[in-house]
Structure 1
Amino acid sequence: MSSQLNRTALPLRLTLWFFGLLTIFPFSLLLLTSVKSQPDLMRGAFVLPDYPHFENYLHAWIDGHFGVYFWNSIFVVVPVVVFSIVLGVLLAFGFAFLSFPGRKALFVVLTIGMMVPAEAFIIPLYYEMRYLGLTNTYAAVILPQIAQSMPFATIFLASAMQQLPDEILEAAILDGASRRHILWHVILPLMVPAMSTLALFLFIWTWNEFLIPLILVNDDAYRTLPLGMLFFQGRYTVNTPVLTAGAVIVIAPLVLAYLIFQRKFIAGLTAGAGK
């Protein structure tokens, strides 16, 4: 029986290995190109360099202003993720456990807000930010992305809260716990996997956001990494190794974040499956 299962699982494992290598290969080629010189690149895409040219990263970091873009991305990502999760928890608690007038209508509005792309409202958003005097500021990039993240955060966390064991919540209510106590001392400890998964989602989406910074920020001092990569490419189109070094700087935090939080990410996705 076990040998039959092994024979059945072997094609699946080979297929998974194939797609895994297919996914890793472009990133490996990107890393290899980023430590080459121009003569090394002319010898072939798969040729190893005589020695690694880590100065490509230094040129990208200093000459390409990637140090500024990197910290700008951090200054934008952290408040977006934190405020989206905090506000999402409060709204999700209301939608999951409380009854109030207009609850279904508000939930529909949130759902519609999650489906509307940024391209549909970017022009009125620009005029609104210009009227408020917020263009070319961190607020112009942070506030719209918090608003964009709120619908998904609320729906995601409300769904996760509804998957919590009813016995725990009923026991807290019978003990006379207040809503605030139930939220902060009963629900939140159980929501850590789901919130970790949400934080990773929001981190990736905010880090990769391109349209909102492109339209609302014209000052190089406030540009984030994806936007900075666009202007960096215009200046270093000929120097491919320096370009690829800049691309590695852009995507490396995403890869590291996923590798660090991989287990919590999977636990959050599978939370409630056994209820």
Structure 2
Amino acid sequence: MAVTVLPFLSLFVTALHPSGTYPPGLAWPEDPQWGNFLRAFQAANMAELLKSSVLIVLGVVPLSIVLGTMAGFAIGHLKIVGGRVLFLVFVLGLTLPFEGVITPLYYQIRDMGLLNTRWAIILPLIGLFMPFSVFWMRAHFINMPEELSESARIDGANVWQLFRRIHVPLAMPAISSLGILLFLWTWNQFLLAIVLVDDATKRTMSGALGAFQGQWGTDIPLLCAGSLLILAPTLIVFLIFQRRFVAALLQGSLKG
């Protein structure tokens, strides 16, 4: 815990030092400069970055959850023809690093005319998140009892009703935890944002940190203040939804 907290504590203490200074370690400043956070917010144009990140998250997370849940249900519970082979394809996708596809992805996005737009981040992330989304949701649906579906079919439920009214409500812990993970990964996406989008106001907040660092790299306290402002939303979201996330992990361990 100390190893995890210490870097955040160092960022916080450094951010309170006078602008333009080089703070020595974890020394608390005699006159804390709380205004550094406001300066960093204004200098980095955080309002626009926050708006851009929210739009990207809204474009990536809901669609990824819907597609991953439907595919996981089909492969894990319905056991469609060729589902095992299809699942292995998705598992192979988990081994594909972002760095390995960034060059061909750049040319593909350029040919589609989407460079320097938020779609250049949204569309690739949906595709790159699909393997994990399917893997995660399949792990839930494959453990659901067949008797549950058989009872619903006897009552006249078709496949869509079986999915929407029976299995989706039961899968809410897994779906919510997947949503948290996808949110964190999308919000913190750095590589695609800096390669595919030149306009910093159309990137994620983490991607815009590169431009902020280039502008204020010599002002260490201001840079630390900006970094903390960018980290704050992800910490808040995780603290709010941590119980759902832990519940989903425990559910999977008990079923396994």
Residue matched to 1:122: 102
Q: 1:22 & 1:148 partners in 2: Cα distance?
A: 31
Aligned residues of 2:76 and 2:139 also touching (Cα < 8 A): yes
1:243 and 2:223 are equivalent in the alignment: yes
Q: 1:101 & 1:68 partners in 2: Cα distance?
A: 47
1:252 and 2:232 are equivalent in the alignment: yes
1:215 and 2:189 are equivalent in the alignment: no
1:107 and 2:87 are equivalent in the alignment: yes
- Larger mean Cα displacement after TM superposition, 143-152 or 97-106: 97-106
Residue matched to 1:75: 55
Q: 1:229 to 1:101 in 2, by over 3 A?
A: same
Q: 1:273 & 1:39 partners in 2: Cα distance?
A: 50
CA RMSD of aligned residues (A): 1.9
Within a 5 Å distance, the mapping from 1:67-216 to structure 2 comes to 67-216=47-196
Aligned residues of 2:213 and 2:223 also touching (Cα < 8 A): yes
- Larger mean Cα displacement after TM superposition, 249-258 or 47-56: 47-56
One-letter code of the match for 2:105? L
How many corresponding residue pairs?
Answer: 255
Q: 1:39 & 1:136 partners in 2: Cα distance?
A: 33
Q: 1:103 to 1:39 in 2, by over 3 A?
A: closer
Normalising by structure 1, what TM-score?
A: 0.86
Q: 1:41 & 1:168 partners in 2: Cα distance?
A: 63
- Larger mean Cα displacement after TM superposition, 173-182 or 98-107: 98-107
Q: 2:131 & 2:140 partners in 1: Cα distance?
A: 14
- Larger mean Cα displacement after TM superposition, 167-176 or 139-148: 167-176
Q: 1:185 & 1:160 partners in 2: Cα distance?
A: 16
Gaps of 5+ in 2: none
Q: 1:111 to 1:216 in 2, by over 3 A?
A: same
Q: 1:38 to 1:128 in 2, by over 3 A?
A: closer
> Which residue of the other structure, out of 14, 20, 29, is the alignment partner of 1:33?
14
Offset of 1:105 from its aligned partner?
A: 2.4
Q: 1:39 & 1:63 partners in 2: Cα distance?
A: 15
Gaps of 5+ in 1: 1-19
- Larger mean Cα displacement after TM superposition, 251-260 or 90-99: 90-99
Q: 1:39 & 1:142 partners in 2: Cα distance?
A: 37
Q: 1:39 to 1:137 in 2, by over 3 A?
A: closer
- Larger mean Cα displacement after TM superposition, 171-180 or 46-55: 46-55
Secondary structure at the residue paired with 2:253?
A: coil
Secondary structure at the residue paired with 2:29?
A: coil
One-letter code of the match for 2:29? P
1:63 and 2:43 are equivalent in the alignment: yes
One-letter code of the match for 1:221? T
Offset of 1:38 from its aligned partner?
A: 4.1
Aligned residues of 2:40 and 2:226 also touching (Cα < 8 A): yes
Q: 2:80 & 2:14 partners in 1: Cα distance?
A: 58
Offset of 1:268 from its aligned partner?
A: 0.7
One-letter code of the match for 2:169? P
One-letter code of the match for 2:224? T
Residue matched to 1:4: none
Q: 1:53 & 1:23 partners in 2: Cα distance?
A: 25
Q: 2:130 & 2:116 partners in 1: Cα distance?
A: 23
Normalising by structure 2, what TM-score?
A: 0.92
Looking at CA atoms only, which structure, 1 or 2, has the larger radius of gyration? Answer: 1
Q: 2:83 & 2:175 partners in 1: Cα distance?
A: 23
- Larger mean Cα displacement after TM superposition, 229-238 or 258-267: 229-238
Percent identity, aligned pairs only?
36
Offset of 1:41 from its aligned partner?
A: 5.5
Secondary structure at the residue paired with 1:158?
A: helix
Secondary structure at the residue paired with 1:209?
A: coil
